[in-house]
Amino acid sequence: MADSATEGASRRPAVALVVLDGLGDRPHPATAGRSPVEDAATPHLDSLLARGTIGEVTVVGPGVAPESDAGVFALLGYDPVHDSPGRGVLEALGVEIPLAPEDVALRLNFATTDGEGGILDSRVGRSLSTTEAQDLARGITAADLLAALGIRAEVRATVGHRGVLWLHPLSGGPLSPNVSNADPFYEKVGGMGQARRPEHPKLLTVTPLDASPEAARTAAAINEFLVRAATVLAGHRINARRAMSGKKIANGLLVRNAGSLPKEPVPPFESRYGVRGAALTEMPVERGIARTLGLEDRYVGPMGADRDAGYRERARLARELLDRVPFVYVHLKGPDEPGHDGDAALKKAIIESIDRSFFGPFLDGLDLDRVRVGVTADHATPSVLKGHSDDPVPFVVAGSGVSPAPRRDAGKFGEPAAHQGPLGALRGSDVLRILLGSAPPGDARR
């Protein structure tokens, strides 16, 4: 039986799944009344469409606007509610925090507030440098704000305004991840984060999500920490310098998606699918996913100043991985941030850069008779909404075993082609089934 399974696996094509973070969008005035994806010049993605087939993917489910980690779990064939250890844990693993089973970790944003709980900017205008955030994080950690409660509280800055709050109990027993978010822009559902769009965003009081004393203790500790941390931030030299130079200050913290190490590890990707995999990632959360699922970890970090050079380097590394690993997941952050900022023109420009400088060299000389390539998104980030939505996202697949499908569109990669595509309406879990299936992809609705 094992020999038969091995033989079946050996007949599978090598597979590349390229996830373009926040790719999905809606028509926008800045992109000629089309979506940034539809309006972008994407000859290489269009060539995949010409050689393959397309559909649209509701990544997690109708009405669910997922965070990136939930979207990626779904695309990799896992249940983001039950299988994910939570965004905090994934972020912590992505920056090599040595979590213990009794610890709790939360995703953190430095933010600008009005001093009374109102949130003026949840990302400090995207102008907070990683170096500044690290200095702020050291100040908060050095204050040892929860020492009286028997808890060591450490803030670990990661990229820009992002970070992790790591709570380690020194006495009083373990902490519990079953607490709500202080960040009003996201709701916690099991291990999954779901985006929200509050009309008047205010810092929320963290509450226990079960009746355990551990959850009550954890919620009270987080609320106390956030109040005390705001005092530290208000007097920090980084914020004094920023205020004097007319920049937004980082005087508040938003925390969300508490998690702890699971009692039972998530089944590794290889044991679940019989395929060895690797991940090429840019952000700590995706690196944490790779480590959680046992994918070979190739972390390149955030994009530098030369966007095209960065995408060419990522294309080179992806091809290198694909030459020796049968499944490669590539995550490119680029389209998401301008979607959050409502900058459809920049989102279009980044998509064009990805097509030109990633897909151009990645597809150059790639034997699509032996390789199957899928391109999709972990969620939509419509520029008109400035946030995540539950909109379906395009999914194109081409290469080994995929016959070009007749289309009613003009062959342009984007939401209209996906909506009309032969693959029809898919769920996130269908993506991996199509990519790893030994039979040629057909209508995933069958």
Q: What is the pLDDT of residues 242-275, one digit of tens each?
A: 999 999 999 999 999 999 999 999 999 999 999 9
Estimate the crossing angle of helix 284-292 against helix 87-94, to 10 degrees: 100
Q: Which tokens go with 242?
A: 């920023």
Structural domains for the chain: 13-84+266-436 (3.40.720.10), 89-259 (no CATH)
The yes-or-no verdict on residue 12 having pLDDT over 90 is no
How far is it, in rounded angstroms, from Cα 381 to Cα 375? Answer: 16
Residue 404: pLDDT band by 50, 70, 90 thresholds? confident
The set of residues, in sequence order, having a beta carbon less than 8 Å from that of 65 and lying 6+ positions away, is: 194, 195, 196, 379, 387, 388, 389, 390
Per DSSP bridges, beta strands 104-113 and 252-259 are: antiparallel
pLDDT averaged over the chain? 93
Q: Which tokens go with 73?
A: 């779990």
For residue 364, the 8-state DSSP code is T
Average pLDDT over residues 388-394: 96
For residue 11, the 8-state DSSP code is H
Residues of the chain with pLDDT > 90, as a percent, come to 90
Average pLDDT over residues 130-134: 97
pLDDT in tens, 17-33: 999 999 999 999 999 99
Q: Which tokens go with 321?
A: 């991985």
The yes-or-no verdict on residue 5 having pLDDT over 80 is no
In the three-class reduction of DSSP (H, G, I as helix; E, B as strand; rest coil), residue 182 is classed as: coil
Burial 191-227 (b: 16+ CB within 10 A, else e): bbbbbeeeeebebbebebbeeeebbbbbbebbbbbbe
pLDDT in tens, 146-205: 999 999 999 999 999 999 999 999 999 999 999 999 999 999 988 888 889 898 999 999
How far is it, in rounded angstroms, from Cα 328 to Cα 331? Answer: 10
Torsion, Cα 239 203 339 380, to 10 degrees, reads: 150
- Backbone phi, psi, residue 349, to 5°: -60, -40
Residue 3: pLDDT band by 50, 70, 90 thresholds? very low
Average pLDDT over residues 402-417: 80
The yes-or-no verdict on residue 1 having pLDDT over 70 is no
How far is it, in rounded angstroms, from Cα 357 to Cα 318? Answer: 13
pLDDT in tens, 79-130: 999 999 999 999 999 999 999 999 999 999 999 999 999 999 999 999 999 9
Candidates 287, 282, 289; CA nearest to 268 is 289
pLDDT, residue 188, reads 92
**Do residues 333 and 281 make contact, with C-beta atoms less than 8 angstroms apart?**
no
Task: Estimate the share of the chain in helix, then strand, then coil, as percent rounded to the nearest 5.
Answer: 35, 20, 40
Average pLDDT over residues 332-353: 97
Residue 405: pLDDT band by 50, 70, 90 thresholds? confident
pTM of the model: 0.92
pLDDT, residue 14, reads 96
Residue 445: pLDDT band by 50, 70, 90 thresholds? very low
